[in-house]
Amino acid sequence: MAGSTALYVRKSTEDFGDSGVSESIENQILFLQDYCKANAITETKTYIDDGISGTTFNRPGFTQMISDIEKGLINTIITKDYSRLGRDYIQSGYYLEKYFPEHNIRYIAVNDGIDTAKQGSNNDMAPFRAVFNDMYAKDISIKVRTALTTKKKNGQFIGSSAPFGYKKSPCNKNQLIIDTETAPYVCMIFQLALQGESFSAISDKMSSLGVPTPSESKKLTASQKRFKGVWNEITVKNILTSETYIGNLTQNRTQKINYKIKKKRRLNSEEWITVNNTHEGIINADDFYTVQKIISVRTYSHKSGQKNLLSGLCFCADCFSPMTYHKSGNVKYLVCSAWKKHAKLKLCHSHSIREDYVLEQIKVQLRSIVQGIDIDRIKDEKSPVHKTDIYSVLQNKIECERKSLLAMYKDKINGVISEEDYQYFSIETKKNIESLNSQINTLSVSDSTPAENVYEYIENLLTFEQTNRETLALLISKVLIDMNKNITIEFNFKEPEQKQL
């Protein structure tokens, strides 16, 4: 019979033999060479897979061996034991019982006494050995997963590469440190989210600015192979929802389906593992939790970029369907989506209401709620005002803006963005910094004496004259509107008494 003998050796990172001795590649090769000498087998070729699990058959060495079988170059395969061929009992059984016989391949597993060319060997035990090998792989997988989970719970980073904005400490691979090259982009993403931008809008902005995607910045294979340098909404969402960016290491967001399948599934947030204060944060905690509130309510934008302030907040009080927007001229209306989509089915009534009227009613009710706050009494009692917290928030925002400005300047120097784009975004960023500095100056008082302008700042805030998407998302749970245009507002805080307008 034509062809040579293939000596196949394999070792995974956690493979040990039954005796506890490492199944090293060198030991396996020497063992098989000794076997060939003892059995007068001279023409051999060695195929090696080092550091690859037996639960997969997508291995370079194994694939090359199968290719040589197809070319008729091999007539015999020898392994130290059956587990070297593989630890998936279904696939191992396929090769042993079907593929090898169809291609006239003799298979020998020396230590297990398997030899398909001989009768009376341990061939009948091969299926049982395959099951045992599979169970071993499963047991190893469970032990490895348990060990990694323990590390996660202890606040040790176990990922192969650090999250975007961070890098692994050169002194400790399980510790994250800020990456000064990419951290400013994280600040930019959060600032855009604070301004009410959607995941899609943020991803478009990052792509248009030529910001390297996380995979590109780590020099990994991009998940979007067709469109290099294009950010996607999932990437933006993952960044905006990870507490890792405020110094709380968040892991276990995905998990392999099982020990045989490399594909991962996303876990619910309840299954995430978060350990507080494990490293330096990039984002201020107040900004992070504000973003969580904003993105918990869907935001829609017109093609012009104008945002609908009440999208996702208003519902029909009669059928509980979301209220959707309809524009007539320059006036925006909220209409019942069930009626708008299925008018002929008469699922609800044809009622609509002006957006500006609803916004005004919200402001009226908010003002009535805060009327009970006696600023004069607070002044008289010299109740402490937590100015330090306000300063901290504003200073952190300024720092993020400055980092963003620096990153854009570097991009301009490196030719990533044009001079025109740099000028536009730098002007906007500088305006934001000026506005934040102005707020700090407004609150600039001594630590010991409450100043009048601090209370004036609070009073102005409580008038709700300027209402933005961020404020509405933070304060309001939902707004119910019935066919008679009665408005019921449910807030995210406890109010003295629910009112109907």
Long-range contacts of 37-45 (CB under 8 A, 24+ apart): 41/5, 41/76, 41/78, 43/4, 43/5, 44/4, 44/5, 44/6, 44/7, 45/4, 45/5, 45/6, 45/7, 45/73, 45/74
Q: What are the distances in angstroms from CA 52 to CA 17, 143, 334?
A: 15, 17, 59
Nearest to 184 by CA among 429, 431, 481: 429
Q: From the DSSP assignment, how many helices (H) and strands (E) are in the chain?
A: 18, 17
Hey, CA dihedral for 387, 475, 232, 279, is it positive or negative? Answer: positive
Reading the block at residue 219, the tokens are: 């020099």
- Quote the tokens at residue 406: 């620096």
List the chain pLDDT tens, one digit each, 501 residues: 457 899 999 987 655 444 444 468 888 899 999 999 999 988 899 999 988 887 888 899 999 999 999 999 999 999 988 888 888 777 888 888 889 989 999 999 888 888 888 776 565 555 655 555 566 556 566 666 677 778 778 878 878 788 899 998 888 888 889 988 888 999 999 988 887 788 888 888 888 888 888 888 776 554 444 446 678 888 898 899 888 898 888 888 777 665 455 666 777 777 788 888 888 999 988 888 888 877 766 544 444 445 677 877 888 888 888 888 888 888 888 888 878 776 666 778 777 899 889 988 888 887 777 665 555 555 554 444 455 555 666 676 677 777 767 766 766 666 666 676 667 667 777 777 777 777 666 655 444 334 444 445 455 555 666 666 666 776 787 889 998 889 998 877 665 554 444
Q: Are 240 and 190 in contact (CB under 8 A)?
A: yes
Q: How far apart are CA 322 and CA 333, in angstroms?
A: 13
Residues 6 or more apart whose Cβ sits within 8 Å of residue 157: 168, 173, 174, 175, 176, 249, 251, 278
Which helix (H) or strand (E) is 130 found in, with range? helix 126-153
Q: Which residues contact 107 (CB under 8 A, 6 or more apart)?
A: 76, 77, 78, 85, 95, 96, 100, 114, 115, 116
- Whole-structure pTM over 0.75, yes or no? no
For residue 447, the 8-state DSSP code is S
Q: Are strands 273-275 and 331-336 parallel, antiparallel or unpaired?
A: unpaired
Helices (H), 414-475: 419-442, 452-461, 469-475
Q: What integer pLDDT is reported at residue 78 of this predicted model? A: 94
- In contact, 321 and 348? CB cutoff 8 Å: yes
- CA R_g for the chain: 33
